[in-house]
């Protein structure tokens, strides 16, 4: 978006007035306050105060917000404030829009979202509703544009050998290259299992591979939004979710064979 005065972004507000905005913030805090550190809460409350002129939106500079927290002995660092922003985006509390003046990036526009309960977050069936929860590195986009091998692989913006349903869903969050790697996790997970005689057999054919991939991905996104820690890469985490689903399903399959 093009940078400008706060009045330029009034249409982004999700609330009728400040009272309604405060009510939704209180509901968000009931669910997620414990997920923020003391310093992060200081930053969040300061941003909320700067979002009251026009209910739920602010375009204050980060440095301005950080400096405003240094009242007597209370104050936070820029890194603490940025960590708070990442969490608020992850939980769906906040949407952050980047603004530009020409080719230069300017300060952000912060837009608070209307409250959604944890149950609502868990039941979301479309990833497109929460695209801001995960950031996609800019270098991935430039790599697709400049690497001839990647261009051939993702011809016409369609990733070869990856089901359309899966890639349309996952591309809302990740780059084409990452979509391909996530599908490889599905492929590797479903190659084979051991039967009772020690022979390798395919996983239960009654289980749709694409449906497995999609439900596992949605579970991963919900876990991330709820603050689950990913110790390794997202690919290892996703692979682990698929494995757990397959192990559970395979146990039932074996029982049915007895």
Tell me, what CATH number does 42's domain have?
A: 1.10.10.10
Better pLDDT: 183 or 74: 183
The reported pLDDT for the residue numbered 112 is 94
Residue 125 in any domain: the answer is no
- My answer on whether 144 and 239 are in the same domain is yes
**Domains in the chain: how many in total?**
2
pLDDT digits (tens, 9 = 90+) for 152-169: 344 445 677 888 889 888
Q: Are residues 102 and 189 in the same domain?
A: no
For residue 49, what pLDDT band results from cuts at 50, 70 and 90?
Answer: very high
Please state, for a pLDDT cut of 90, what percent of the chain lies above it: 23
**Whether residues 144 and 253 fall in one domain:** yes
Taking the mean position of all CA atoms in its chain, how far away is CA 136?
Answer: 9
Give the residue from 115, 150, 173 where a domain finishes.
Answer: 115
- Could you tell me the end-to-end alpha-carbon distance of the chain, in angstroms, rounded to an integer? 61
pLDDT of residue 250: 62
Domain span at residue 42 reads 6-115
* Strand positions, DSSP E, the chain: 57-58, 94-101, 104-112, 193-194, 200-201
Answering whether pTM is above 0.75, one says no
Residue ranges of alpha helices (H) inside 50-175 are 62-68, 78-90, 118-123, 138-146, 148-153, 164-170
Residues 189 and 252 reside in one and the same domain = yes
Please say which residue of 49, 82, 115 terminates a domain.
115
In a domain, 147, yes or no: yes
Q: Average pLDDT, whole number, for the chain? A: 75
185 and 105 both lie in a single domain: no
Please compute the mean of the pLDDT values over residues 120-138 and round it to a whole number. Answer: 42
- Using CB atoms within 10 A of its CB, is residue 255 exposed (0-12), middle (13-18) or buried (19+)? exposed
User: Does residue 224 lie within any of the structural domains?
Assistant: yes
Same domain for 165 and 251, yes or no, is: yes
The pLDDT confidence band at residue 200, using thresholds 50, 70 and 90, is very low
pLDDT, mean of residues 76-80: 88
> Is the same domain home to 15 and 73?
yes
What does the alpha-carbon distance between residue 43 and residue 257 come to, in Å, rounded to a whole number? Answer: 57
Kindly report which listed range (49-58, 108-117, 246-255) carries the lowest average pLDDT score.
246-255
């Amino acid at each position: 978006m093009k940078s400008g005065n706060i009045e330029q972004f009034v249409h982004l507000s999700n609330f009728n007035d400040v009272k309604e905005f405060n009510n939704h913030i209180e509901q968000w805090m009931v669910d997620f306050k414990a997920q923020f550190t003391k310093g992060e809460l200081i930053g969040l409350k300061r941003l909320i105060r700067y979002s009251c002129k026009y209910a739920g939106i602010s375009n204050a500079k980060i440095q301005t917000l950080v400096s405003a927290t240094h009242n007597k002995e209370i104050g936070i660092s820029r890194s603490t404030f940025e960590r708070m922003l990442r969490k608020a985006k992850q939980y769906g509390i906040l949407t952050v829009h980047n603004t530009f003046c020409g080719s230069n990036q300017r300060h952000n526009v912060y837009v608070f979202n209307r409250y959604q309960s944890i149950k609502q977050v868990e039941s979301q069936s479309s990833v497109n509703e929460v695209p801001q929860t995960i950031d996609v590195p800019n270098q991935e986009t430039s790599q697709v544009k400049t690497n001839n091998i990647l261009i051939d692989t993702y011809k016409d913006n369609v990733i070869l050998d990856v089901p359309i349903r899966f890639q349309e869903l996952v591309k809302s969050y990740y780059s084409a290259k990452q979509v391909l790697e996530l599908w490889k996790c599905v492929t590797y997970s479903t190659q084979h299992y051991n039967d009772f005689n020690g022979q390798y057999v395919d996983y239960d054919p009654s289980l749709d591979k694409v449906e497995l991939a999609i439900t596992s991905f949605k579970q991963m996104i919900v876990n991330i939004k709820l603050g689950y820690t990913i110790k390794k890469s997202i690919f290892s985490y996703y692979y682990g979710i698929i494995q757990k689903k397959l192990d559970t399903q395979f146990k039932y399959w074996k029982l049915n064979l007895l």
